[in-house]
Amino acid sequence: METPMQNEKIKIILNYLSNYRQHIPGVFFILVALFIKLVLTKSIEPEALTTFSTNINHTAIQIPNWVFNTRFALDLIAGLCAGLGLYQIIRGFKKGISSIIGAIGGLVVLGFLVWGASGTSISFTGMLAVMVIRSVPITIGALAGILSERAGIVNIAIEGMMIAGAFAGAVIGSILGLWAGILAAILIGALLGLVHAVLSIKYKVDQIISGTMINIFSTGLTSYLFIKFLQDSQNQWLNESGFFKPYAIPLLSKIPVIGPIFFDHNLFIYAMYFLVILLSIALFKTKWGLRHRSVGEHPKAADTLGVNVFRTRYLACVLSGMVAGFGGAYFSLGSVGRFEQTMTAGRGFIALAAMIFGNWNPLGALQAGMLFGFAESLTTKLSLLQFPIPAEVLLMLPYIITMVVLAGVVGRSRGPAADGIPYEKESL
Amino acid sequence: MPPILELKGITKRFPGVLANDHIDIKLEKGEILALLGENGAGKTTLMNILYGLYKPDEGEIFINGAKVEISSPIDAIRSGIGMVHQHFMLIPVFTVTENVMLGEEYTRPGGFLDRNKAADRIRELSETYKLNVNPDDLVENLPVGLQQRVEIIKLLFRNADILIMDEPTAVLTPQEVDELFNILKKLVEKGKSIIFITHKLREVMECADRIEVIRSGKVVGATTPAEASPEKLATMMVGREVDLITDKKPGDLRETVLTVDKLCVRDFHSHVVVDDVTFELHGGEILGIAGVQGNGQTELVRALTGLKTPFSGKIIISEKDVSRSSPRRITELGSAHIPEDRQKDGLILASSIAENLVLNTYFHRPFSNGIILERLAIDENANELVRKFDIRTPGIKTLVHSLSGGNQQKVIIAREFSRPIKLLIASQPTRGLDVGSIEYIHSRIIEKRDEGCAVLLVSTELDEIMQLSDRIAVMFRGKIITIVKANAVTKEELGLIMAGVTPTINKKKIENTQAREIIT
């Protein structure tokens, strides 16, 4: 038997716990503020200046670089963090808490940049331009995921499709030229997509297993071919495709800051913008998109209304493979100009995280892709600033961000209802 | 004039079952034909054949006198046949417009959806048939009754002339049922023809023009509401005399067995699903929990049985606080559970009857000795229970998934009732069962009550609640709105409370009760 005393105690503990949930983030915010104030600011001379340069050579209108007192900026950032923390403890941000946590994250990153660039200058615009470039494979991979998952097929094979696309792009690109390379990458992606479709739709193999199989197969096969043939010095010409050169879009690229960040890139970046817009329209404004999504939400309902569930899902898988293959070509044809073993480095999986984070929406995927792109860009920047953190740890940053983002988002975002469930017609 | 629809000699065999046996049915233009039969009689199979989901092994279908081949839902739609499925075929995250036009989209050049044009058409249909549907609403935000009307609009949008309604009232409150009947009458007035599939006698009597009764895949009789009586229909449906009203002596109230105090349960998304629920349950009484599906009954039962930890509040069984106890501890205190989904939560389908019968006692003597199971004792127990509870099975080693629904439920009842219990929590104990099994289970539950057991009966079938309960609690949006004596309330009043209308029960009615309505 529990005594009333015990019940009182339990009540107090429960009360404390419910407040505790509100207090934790607040206390954390204030700790962040203290860290910035006490640790970062301490090592800075009072007169030290930080310069964020905003110009890359060829913009028509040069706008002045952004120069400010490091200490003052850090104090400002610390003050903001502390203010948000106090508000959280006293009143509590109700629903907006996730965006506040995001904002705090942004402030911390900004603080580190300000601190790291103290006494020197960093190219703010350049960093963001790199963010856009690095977001390409992640965004395009996420779009591939959206294509198949919106129709109810889980596609974790994006990584494998990408590495296959990168390989096919490099080799065919070396033999027949860059455009042929892209075509080859798309075709190999389509082929793998078809394999995934046949396995998971016709034979109802668990989609995770089918996808994993494709990942292992592609990674293994490309590595084997690379080591066996491409590394041979006589075959070097097979892996010298070169890459698409940046093309500055007239007028748009001349806009200060915005221009160099978004409109002075190569084919793949523009293709990413195009695909995001195309998919947004196709999925939500067209007959095709309505049917595509219906199959991912409630295939039986779609079937009773005369939508061909199997055909829709096959098409979705193949299109997904094509987009993923194209995204894979970015690694060879859009970036380094040759194939290297496991060069996708898990971007296909980060793309899936971006897809979930972007709530299975193309625009959301672009935003999520930019976030992960920023993490990669930041990694590069911080290592250039000779940050007192080992480079290996910095390289982990994008993956850590992936985990944090997924931990925060998964469970709250809602994917297609029939995602990953094979459809079986009832009739005998 | 030929009938609008005629089925001739439809036969469908599934492995081991003759689901439809040379069925002949005619549907005249502008009538409501009720297809009455028990679960498993073959009604739904027949309609799925008509809708092109199954292929018949034999038989022909004629529409307006012309023979048609229906091999897919598209063929059915083209022939003017539309079906409202028992489980709605709606996509929750789509708007009404999107749901309605899916498969039959209005487009502008280039394949772009013309949502406005489709929405206008929906508004027009809604107006004509008084359906009150707003095309821009998200389906998941609509109450069940409205979702059903969206299904009807889907058929009208496709110009269906023959509407098949498969058990349309199963998910509705009594008021929604009345509204549905008005809509159906409106539809036939405007020249539509309707096939109404059901196993509920009251509804057939109320809305059908003609009645065809199906039993074990055959048409066993045709009649009209004017000629028929519920007793006669029940006899036709079941094939023998059925006692529609379970006899029940007044209860003999004993000490409090279950106390629930300010119980709150939150779901996975931390929405409150059971909201500040308080009640007491005594030995020797049946407390019925009525309510439309999805108003927190499932979560309440899960909390009471230890399957879900409550967010706050207290559950006390026989003076022990079990709010945070494990299911086993609650079971060991003498509480029995007949779960809502017997196949998912009640049985291990791939195990034998004998094993399923000791699922909550296997760790005790005589069924185990240390870590070793005593097979002999388990089998002996199974043999005895199979006999005592009349479980129809080839043997005790038979796997549970090969039993019929009624016999599966008997396995659960045998397991739960064969040990000394003080509290029985029965959730939808007769869902999907035939009239014979329902009779059996009801009498077993009342027997337990008479032995002094406290019974909590959760059901969405108002008739069942009214028939068995001593007191009735109504759940709506997670709250218990009211608890009343069963003989102090009418079905209509309960229906209103279930729909969230605050009760103003006339106390004088207590004498003049109509509560004992005819079941099914």
- What pLDDT digit, counting tens, does each position of B475-487 carry? 988 999 889 988 8
How many domains is chain A built from?
2
CB pairs under 8 A between A and B: 81
Question: What's the pLDDT tens digit per position in A53-102?
Answer: 776 655 556 677 788 888 888 889 999 989 888 888 877 776 667 677 77
A6 falls within a domain: no
Question: Which residue from B minimizes the CA distance to A296?
Answer: B91
Going by C-beta distance under 8 Å and a sequence separation of 6 or more, which residues neighbour residue A412?
none
Whether residues A303 and A213 fall in one domain: yes
- Chain mean position to CA A200: 26
Whether residues A24 and A139 fall in one domain: no
Which amino acid is located at A180 in the chain?
A
Spatial distance between the Cα atoms of B45 and B19, rounded to a whole number of angstroms: 7
* Inter-CA distances, B198 with A164, B44, B48, B224, B246, Å: 56, 10, 15, 15, 22
Whether residues A76 and A167 fall in one domain: no
Spatial distance between the Cα atoms of A202 and B357, rounded to a whole number of angstroms: 39
Which residues does chain B have within 8 Å of residue A1's beta carbon, measured at their own beta carbons? 319-320
- In the numeric block, which tokens belong to residue B145? 């009754």
Burial class (CB in 10 A: 0-12, 13-18, 19+), B218: middle
A423 falls within a domain: no
pLDDT at residue B286 tops 80: yes
Q: Closest approach of chain A CAs to the CA of B96, in angstroms?
A: 13
- Does the beta-carbon distance from A306 to B74 stay under 8 Å? yes
Residues 302-361 (A) with a CB less than 8 A from some CB of B: 302-307
Task: Give pLDDT, residue A160.
Answer: 97
- Does the beta-carbon distance from B102 to A305 stay under 8 Å? yes
Task: Give pLDDT, residue B340.
Answer: 87
Domains of chain B with CATH codes: 5-238 (3.40.50.300), 256-334+420-506 (3.40.50.300)
- pLDDT band with cut points at 50, 70 and 90 for residue A394: confident
A343 falls within a domain: yes
A43 falls within a domain: yes
Question: What's the pLDDT tens digit per position in B177-201?
Answer: 888 999 999 999 999 999 998 887 8
Whether residues A292 and A318 fall in one domain: yes
A426 falls within a domain: no
Rg (CA), chain A: 25
Whether residues A85 and A231 fall in one domain: no
Task: Give pLDDT, residue B401.
Answer: 83
Number of Cα atoms under 13 Å in the Cβ half of residue A307: 30
Burial class (CB in 10 A: 0-12, 13-18, 19+), A422: middle
Burial class (CB in 10 A: 0-12, 13-18, 19+), A72: middle
Whether residues A100 and A135 fall in one domain: no
Domain CATH number, residue A275: 1.10.3470
Which residues does chain A have within 8 Å of residue B118's beta carbon, measured at their own beta carbons? none
Across chain B, what does the average pLDDT equal? 87
A424 falls within a domain: no
- In the numeric block, which tokens belong to residue B485? 């004596």
Give the closest residue to A127 by CA, choosing from A392, A370, A399, A368. A370
- In the numeric block, which tokens belong to residue B405? 């629904």
Which residues does chain B have within 8 Å of residue A302's beta carbon, measured at their own beta carbons? 102-103
Query: Residue A299: is the preceding peptide bond cis (ω within 30°)?
Result: no
Task: Give pLDDT, residue A5.
Answer: 63
Question: Average pLDDT, stretch B397-405?
Answer: 84
Number of Cα atoms under 13 Å in the Cβ half of residue A167: 22
A92 falls within a domain: yes
Last residue of a domain, one of A59, A90, A123: A123
Task: Give pLDDT, residue B242.
Answer: 66
Whether residues A390 and A241 fall in one domain: yes
Whether residues A367 and A325 fall in one domain: yes
Give the closest residue to A193 by CA, choosing from A239, A151, A253, A255. A151
Going by C-beta distance under 8 Å and a sequence separation of 6 or more, which residues neighbour residue A232?
none
B93 close to B138: Cβ distance less than 8 angstroms: yes
Give the closest residue to A29 by CA, choosing from A86, A90, A99. A86
Task: Give pLDDT, residue B511.
Answer: 35
CA B398, B402, B405: angle at the middle one, nearest 5? 120
A234 touches chain B (CB under 8 A): no
Q: Where is average pLDDT lowest: A239-253, A269-283, A379-393, B145-159? A: A379-393
Spatial distance between the Cα atoms of A276 and A228, rounded to a whole number of angstroms: 38
Task: Give pLDDT, residue A4.
Answer: 59
Write the residue in B51, B102, B268 that is nearest to A291 by C-beta: B102
- In the numeric block, which tokens belong to residue A182? 């892209």
Which residues does chain A have within 8 Å of residue B73's beta carbon, measured at their own beta carbons? 303-306
Burial class (CB in 10 A: 0-12, 13-18, 19+), B249: exposed
pLDDT at residue B505 tops 80: no
- Residue written as tokens 């009779």? B439
CB atoms within 10 A of CB B237: 24
Burial class (CB in 10 A: 0-12, 13-18, 19+), B220: middle
- In the numeric block, which tokens belong to residue B421? 């219990």
- Chain mean position to CA B379: 34
- Domain that includes residue A304, residue range: 131-409
Write the residue in A14, A305, A414 that is nearest to B73 by C-beta: A305
Write the residue in B83, B89, B312 that is nearest to A298 by C-beta: B89
Give the closest residue to B253 by CA, choosing from B286, B281, B283, B287. B283
Percent with pLDDT over 70 in chain B: 95
- pLDDT band with cut points at 50, 70 and 90 for residue A10: low
Question: Average pLDDT, stretch B353-357?
Answer: 94
- Helices first, then strands: H and E counts in chain B: 16, 24
Write the residue in A298, A305, A428 that is nearest to B103 by C-beta: A305
Task: Quote the pTM value.
Answer: 0.78
A257 falls within a domain: yes
A173 close to A314: Cβ distance less than 8 angstroms: no
Whether residues A115 and A141 fall in one domain: no
